[in-house]
Amino acid sequence: MMRTLRCAGIVRPRTPADRRHARIAVDSPTDQEYIVRFPIRRTALIAVAAASSLAMAGCGSSSTPAASTSNAATSAASAVKLIAPGSLTVCTHLAYEPFQYPDDSGKVVGFDVDVMDLVAKKLGVTQKIVDTPFEGIKSGEVTKTGKCDISAAAMSITDERKKAILFSDAYFNATQALLLPPNSTVKGLADLKGKKIGAQSATTGLDYANAQKAANGYEIIEFQDLPSQQQALLTGQVDAAINDLPVWGPVVKKNPGKAVVGPQFDTGDVYGFGMKLDNAELKKVVDQVLKDAKASGDYNTIYKKWIGTDAPKS
């Protein structure tokens, strides 16, 4: 099975059809690859050419990159080893709007995609996105086995996950919230006694629902992904659904009059990008890119683009 994706490629396509689309190979029903490319500015090409010339002359180790936002990040970037030359391979789980999801053209977009583009740009490579089950992401299996360099899937940092995953610095403060029918009278979990609450498998939302189940007497219905969970709420299969607050905004917007955001629960969740436990060099680059993006305003631009408000002051 082949899927097409509209991209801005680095290499000029040979035919008009190639210029419109890039081909993407699908290896299995559960794993799909998407290529996300970004334009290279002329100045960046000049900088790369200059650096290459110096290296050939035996002076590469003493040269200073022309387009560096941080000496620390540049130094660490040169030490990063990627599983596929020329690509930052990123594991995610689709769809989880607004963090990562296919738009109407099939292109994968979102908050996490934009941040990973900054990391790929810093490394001088192209982002390649692999859609894979979230279970393998949260367990660290996808980075441990070399399937991906990094996971970007709106993943909460937890002590349990830290045993198998090297997390970046936190990049997003999240909280849990209920999605409800518009006429619902639910004001809290206690109001769901004897009712059904939908939760997404392998998420902290499911963990929170399980932890509160005995005290509140509801039944939990598990769903493998966000689309099936939200559809269950919209069609009345469950009385409420619990997930991270930011994902409910797009659902309400696309389904006017059919759902509302209900009570929120401050669980202290923060998101982090996940890497192999011993991949300290990549973590250095990711952390520095996050720091630089916040200082330059790029992070706030991404936040406002996908969340709709300015980023909280940290």
Question: Are residues 163 and 62 part of one domain?
Answer: yes
Question: Are residues 258 and 189 part of one domain?
Answer: yes
- Statement: residue 132 has pLDDT above 70: yes
Tens digit of pLDDT for each residue in 141-196? 999 999 999 999 999 999 999 999 999 999 999 999 999 999 999 999 999 999 99
Q: What residues make up the domain containing 18?
A: 2-172+271-307
Question: Are residues 225 and 103 part of one domain?
Answer: no
312 in any annotated domain: no
86 in any annotated domain: yes
Tens digit of pLDDT for each residue in 208-255? 999 999 999 999 999 999 999 999 999 999 999 999 999 999 999 999
113 in any annotated domain: yes
Question: Are residues 228 and 217 part of one domain?
Answer: yes
313 in any annotated domain: no
For the chain, what is the domain count? 2
Using CA atoms in the order 196, 202, 205, 210, what is the torsion angle rounded to 10 degrees? 60
pLDDT higher at 118 or 74: 118
Question: Are residues 74 and 102 part of one domain?
Answer: yes
Tens digit of pLDDT for each residue in 12-22? 333 444 433 33
Confidence category of residue 313, pLDDT binned at 50, 70, 90: confident
Q: What is the pLDDT of residue 78?
A: 79
Instruction: State the pTM of this model.
Output: 0.76
314 in any annotated domain: no
- Statement: residue 83 has pLDDT above 80: yes
Taking the C-alpha atoms of residue 122 and residue 97, their distance in angstroms, rounded to an integer, is 25
List, in sequence order, every residue forming a beta bridge with 89; answer none if it has no partner.
128
CATH code assigned at 235: 3.40.190.10
- Statement: residue 54 has pLDDT above 90: no
